């Protein structure tokens, strides 16, 4: 079957830069979906996206659908005709569904059948509908109308190119009639551009100063920014999202180096970087020590004969923003950081839970409690806690919300606070996302855990539990943050006791009954997803959870040990044996003796297991006490042979009640050894 290249380009006013890449990818996905549904084969497909255009190019697209045969089964003959041979409604309905008279239906088999060969349609007639359907399905949250037309799109359309081979497809989409003329760069080549063939699309536009390929523009910007940064003896900060956004703003990228006055470097560099990235879309430069250079890179959309004018213009634009940041920084330092707490006494944290200052007081006390238990300085933790929310009332954070915590660090440092106290003001918000950085200091860890637990207890305590995707107070993230800090920093904190302290601090502001258990369950439930992401079998998590460990670090150490145990050849048999023992003990009548009487052993296998359990008990107890759970389970794996022999040769429910009770006691001892680490029976 013959094939031709296909090209569609929709020209528009400037498209939303943050959405451009996804719009291009969705346009391609929609067209590919339509082609596959129509049975039109092709060799390759790609999308192009630039500020004023979305395009899709298909290589070697079949010029016609293949013929296809439709086979439909209808009702059985006995249901299709009555006793007199007259057609029933089932037969008539089937014929109507097939679009033919009943005489054309095949009645030779046990069921009515209809077969039809449908001739394939030319691709040229199907493509407009496929393109239009893809455009209608684009992820556009808010569409707009223009002029007096009823059609809607993300931006007003300006032109439409649709070529199939050398031919223009005759159609109209979104108010534009298809042709073969695109448009070049607004300034370098404002005239129309004739697209000679789909395969020449990129080069035809390149000659008109338009780089239609998003990936090509992105690579040019990335490479040139790195080169210019190196020339300035620095490195550029190039966040992926910012690079994508800048790529979506230009058709002909020309990166240029600009500068600002060195006096602005006295302002926290995070504030300068934030305003230059977010407001001006500039790439900032750092020196070898990670300090901000008084330089930045802008990406122009023209190849100017006088680039110094573009540089001067950008320098003029950025100066007021940096001046604002400098002003806020100086204003905030006219009073001690702690003085801002006075403002926070009038700022509500949550209507039922009081003010932000009251939260800081609770965090201060809880952080001191935590620090004392993880080897930190409780005095410094208390100090960091009471200062933890001060910067929320500063001018700097009011203008740059992203500076919360960071501003507090700078102001605390300038005010002579201890280094770990200053660091804790920023570290309290860590980790800021999945896999993000953790606090570097014990004081920071204590404040971070205290802040998150205080929020969890308070919000749960007034019944505002997260539901489905709704979690306005980010409680799931808070719980995961607590777990990451305690586990990854190897901090041994009893979470149950700590949550109890947090609950007590709220007094009658929360409903305390059952609250501590509710928060504990919520936090430890987050571990399940964490372990699933790490490839840990859910049964391993459940085996540990059954014991209700109170410290996340202890919980994790047990999980890692059980995960390693599962790889041992003895694991499966011992898990099954534990399950069997658990079932036997559950059915025990009366109280199982606490001790085992070796003199009551009558069978060789019973004696062997008794000796093995006694030996294991003396060896495993110190290992479990030292939390060397992996070694403990490895030692218990040696019990497989005597356990198997016991169940093969010994009748647990002996006729002699004393012997029977003693065997129950032996099994309880065996089970207790494993329960020192996890409920291994749940692995089966």
pLDDT in tens, 87-106: 899 888 988 888 888 888 88
Task: Give the model's pLDDT for residue 469.
Answer: 79
Residue 338: partners with Cβ closer than 8 Å, 6 or more residues away: 386, 387, 390
Percent of the chain with pLDDT over 70: 100
Mean pLDDT for the stretch of residues 397-401: 93
pLDDT of residue 577: 84
pLDDT at 533: 87
SS3 485: helix
Q: How far apart are CA 546 and CA 637, in angstroms?
A: 20
pLDDT of 557 higher than 90? yes
Higher pLDDT, 492 or 664: 492
Residue-level pLDDT at 605: 87
User: Quick one: pLDDT at residue 486?
Assistant: 97
Tokens representing 541 are: 């998590």
Residue 313 near residue 256 (C-beta atoms within 8 A): no
Answer yes or no: is pLDDT of 16 > 80.
Answer: yes
User: Other CB atoms closer than 10 Å to residue 120's CB: what's the count?
Assistant: 17
- Provide the 3-class DSSP secondary structure of residue 355: strand
Asked if residue 189 lies in contact with residue 177, where contact means CB atoms within 8 angstroms, the answer is no
**Contact of 157 with 57, CB cutoff 8 Å:** no
CB within 8 Å of 655: residues ≥ 6 apart: none
- Helix, strand, coil percentages (3-state) for the chain, rounded to 5, are 55, 15, 30
- For position 77, what pLDDT does the model report? 85
Answer with the residue of higher pLDDT: 192 or 68: 192
- Evaluate if residue 75 carries a pLDDT over 80: yes
pLDDT digits (tens, 9 = 90+) for 251-301: 999 999 999 999 999 999 999 999 999 999 999 999 999 999 999 999 999
What's the confidence (pLDDT) of residue 684? 66
Q: Answer whether residue 656 shows pLDDT above 90.
A: no
Q: Strand, coil or helix: what is 642? A: helix
The pair of three-digit structure tokens given for residue 107, joined into one six-digit string: 């009645």
Percentage of the residues of the chain whose pLDDT score is greater than 90: 71
């Amino acid at each position: 079957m013959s094939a031709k290249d296909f090209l569609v380009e929709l020209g528009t006013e400037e498209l939303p830069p943050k959405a451009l890449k996804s719009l291009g990818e969705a346009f391609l996905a929609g067209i590919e979906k339509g082609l596959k549904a129509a049975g039109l084969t092709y060799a390759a497909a790609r999308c192009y996206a630039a500020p004023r255009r979305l395009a899709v190019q298909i290589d070697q697209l079949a010029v016609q659908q293949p013929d296809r045969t439709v086979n439909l089964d209808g009702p059985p003959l006995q249901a299709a005709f009555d006793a007199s041979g007259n057609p029933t409604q089932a037969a008539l309905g089937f014929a109507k569904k097939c679009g033919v008279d009943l005489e054309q239906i095949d009645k030779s088999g046990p069921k009515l059948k209809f077969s039809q060969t449908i001739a394939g349609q030319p691709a040229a007639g199907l493509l407009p509908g496929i393109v239009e359907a893809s455009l209608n399905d684009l992820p556009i949250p808010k569409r707009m109308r223009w002029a007096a037309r009823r059609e809607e799109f993300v931006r007003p359309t300006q032109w439409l190119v649709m070529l199939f081979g050398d031919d223009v497809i005759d159609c109209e989409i979104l108010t534009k009639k298809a042709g073969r003329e695109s448009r070049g760069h607004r300034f370098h080549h404002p005239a129309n551009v004739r697209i000679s063939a789909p395969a020449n699309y990129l080069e035809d536009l390149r000659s008109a100063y338009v780089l239609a390929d998003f990936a090509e523009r992105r690579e040019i910007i990335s490479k040139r920014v790195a080169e210019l940064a190196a020339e300035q003896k620095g490195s550029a900060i190039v966040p992926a999202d910012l690079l994508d956004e800048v790529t979506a703003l230009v058709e002909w990228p020309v990166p240029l180096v600009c500068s600002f006055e060195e006096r602005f470097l006295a302002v926290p560099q995070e504030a300068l970087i934030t305003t230059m990235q977010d407001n001006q879309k500039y790439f900032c430069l750092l020196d070898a020590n990670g300090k901000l250079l008084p330089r930045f890179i802008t990406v122009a959309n023209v190849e100017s004969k006088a680039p110094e004018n573009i540089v001067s213009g950008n320098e003029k634009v950025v100066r007021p923003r940096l001046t604002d940041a400098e002003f806020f920084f100086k204003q905030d330092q006219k009073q001690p950081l702690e003085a801002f707490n006075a403002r926070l006494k009038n700022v509500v944290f949550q209507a039922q839970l009081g003010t932000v200052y009251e939260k800081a007081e609770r965090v201060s006390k809880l952080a001191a409690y935590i620090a004392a238990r993880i080897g930190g300085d409780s005095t410094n933790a208390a100090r960091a806690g009471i200062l933890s929310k001060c910067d929320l009332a500063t001018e700097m954070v009011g203008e740059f919300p992203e500076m919360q915590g960071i501003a507090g660090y700078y102001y605390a440092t300038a005010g002579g606070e201890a280094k770990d106290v200053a660091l804790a003001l920023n570290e309290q918000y860590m980790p800021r996302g999945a896999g993000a950085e953790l606090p570097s200091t014990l004081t920071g860890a204590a404040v971070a855990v205290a802040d998150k637990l205080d929020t969890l207890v308070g919000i749960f305590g007034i019944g505002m539990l997260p539901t489905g995707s709704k979690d306005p107070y980010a409680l799931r993230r808070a719980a995961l943050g607590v777990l990451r800090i305690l586990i990854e920093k190897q901090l041994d904190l009893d979470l149950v006791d700590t949550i109890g302290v947090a609950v007590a601090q709220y007094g009658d502001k929360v409903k305390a009954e059952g609250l501590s258990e509710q928060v504990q369950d919520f936090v430890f439930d987050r571990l399940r997803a964490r372990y699933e992401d790490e490839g840990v079998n859910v049964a391993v998590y459940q085996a540990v959870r059954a014991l209700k460990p109170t410290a996340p670090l202890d919980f994790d150490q047990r999980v890692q040990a059980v995960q390693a145990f599962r790889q041992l050849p003895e694991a499966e048999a011992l898990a099954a044996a534990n399950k069997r023992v658990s079932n036997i003990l559950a059915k025990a009548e009366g109280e199982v003796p606490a001790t085992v009487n070796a003199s009551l052993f009558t069978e060789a296998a019973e004696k062997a297991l008794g000796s093995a359990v006694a030996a294991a008990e003396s060896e495993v107890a110190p290992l479990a006490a030292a939390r060397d759970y992996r070694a403990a389970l490895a030692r218990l794996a040696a019990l497989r042979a005597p356990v198997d022999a016991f169940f093969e040769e010994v009748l647990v429910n002996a006729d002699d009640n004393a012997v029977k009770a003693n065997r129950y006691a032996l099994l309880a001892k065996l089970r207790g050894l494993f329960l020192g680490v996890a409920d291994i029976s749940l692995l089966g």
